[in-house]
Amino acid sequence: MTAQPYFLNDLGITCALGQGKQVVVSALLAGDRSGMQTDPGYLQRGETVVGIVPNLPSLPRSDKFATRSNRILYSALVQIEDSVACAAQRYGPERIGVVIGATTSGIEEGRLALATAHADGAFASDFRLEMQELGNPADFVSTLFQLQGLSFTVSNACSSGGNALASGARFLATGQCDAVIVGGVDALTSLTLNGFDALSSIAPGLSNPFSVNRNGINIGEGAAVFLMTRQHSDVALLGWGETSDGYHMNAPDPSGRGALDAMKKAMDMAGCDAGDIAYANLHGTGTRANDAMESLAVAQALGHDVPVSSTKPMTGHTLGAAGAIEAGFLWLLLSRSLSDTELPPHLWDGQLGMDCEPLNFATFGETGPTKHVASAMLSNSFAFGGNNCSLVLGRS
């Protein structure tokens, strides 16, 4: 059964590719990796490659919201503030909801405050415990725009950003809101990077997804936020699929069953099949287990001909923000003219892993279909605990 489309009226986006729609889409199609930088400050054992957002704005106020996550989020929010203001005038602030996917919130600020307390015997005067609350980013959005609708943060590991879009659509479907700000944000933190390093998941250099030589992920930071309404616009969320296979705490089901089900559910809701998907943005972390599982699931869901790529080699894995940022990439691609069909390249060494399916990995300058099949694109986000989320966006 095809669901009502939920229109994505505007996008604000910030990541290692840059800040703002035009900057990001240009860098995305160029395969720009300049935001992937070697930083010595996060891992206990030494330097690592991370996706960094530079030149962040200051927050308009300094209190419990004064975190790096919220500075990143703010840099995306200011890009849609005019659209939000129009929605507030049209619907009223009590009818606008907020759903933000996140996993880090103010964890880094808490770590630094704890180090100060150990050294000096007291927390710094500007530290607030509320900075660490997972609900802090959504609270920040509601406070910034003076909204009074439903507001919460989804923290479902690396599927959080995708789950936020699905949750926002349900707000609209049930009539609880007339507009929703949906998206995701995460900032780089020592705790996160050392946690992934303890799992032997951090790549020693740049990530190399689906390669026989792949050896881990790069972590990144960023944010993407949409204004979602029932009011028609050029791009819509056509469908979503959310599954939880519960296979393992931090390892994916090698059969790809949960991932396959998520893609099928998303396409069924959107009323499309593999022949209607012009491009798929893969989760594509560069870890052995994820890439093998995802390539198998994608081959079963979409076949071997649909153009695909992982964009994480250009942004790093932005964790709770990844699903929203990568949905943002689809929005940017679908917002172009029908004749402009260049796709994000898959950056790797071209040596397919023996445990990976031979998918149609997009190359520099490759274009997708230009006819009716160019109306839909798919994005995958998979998370710890067997949580899977696939989104289908399309022209409306």
What's at 93, amino acid-wise?
P
Phi, psi of 64 (to 5 degrees): -65, -15
- CA distances (Å), origin 223, targets 77, 240, 319: 9, 20, 10
| Number of neighbouring beta carbons within 10 Å of residue 2 | 11
Catalytic residue among 15, 317, 346, 356: 317
Q: Which of 253, 132, 107, 120 shows the shortest CA–CA distance to 194? A: 107
283 noted as active-site residue: yes
Which one of the listed residues 15, 158, 356, 389 is annotated catalytic? 158
Q: Which amino acid, residue 8?
A: L
Active site residue 177: no
Q: Which whole-number Å values give the CA distances from 271 to 266, 334, 347, 378, 392, in the listed order?
A: 9, 18, 31, 13, 10
Is residue 372 part of the annotated active site? The answer reads no
SS3 assignment, position 120: helix
φ, ψ of residue 14 to 5 degrees: the values are -145, 130
Sequence-distant (≥ 6) Cβ neighbours of residue 229 within 8 angstroms: 6, 7, 9, 87, 172, 178, 179, 180
Instruction: Find the catalytic residue in 15, 177, 272, 283.
Output: 283
Token couple for 354: 């023996």
| Number of other residues whose CB lies within 10 A of the CB of residue 372 | 12
Q: Which residues are catalytic?
A: 158, 283, 317
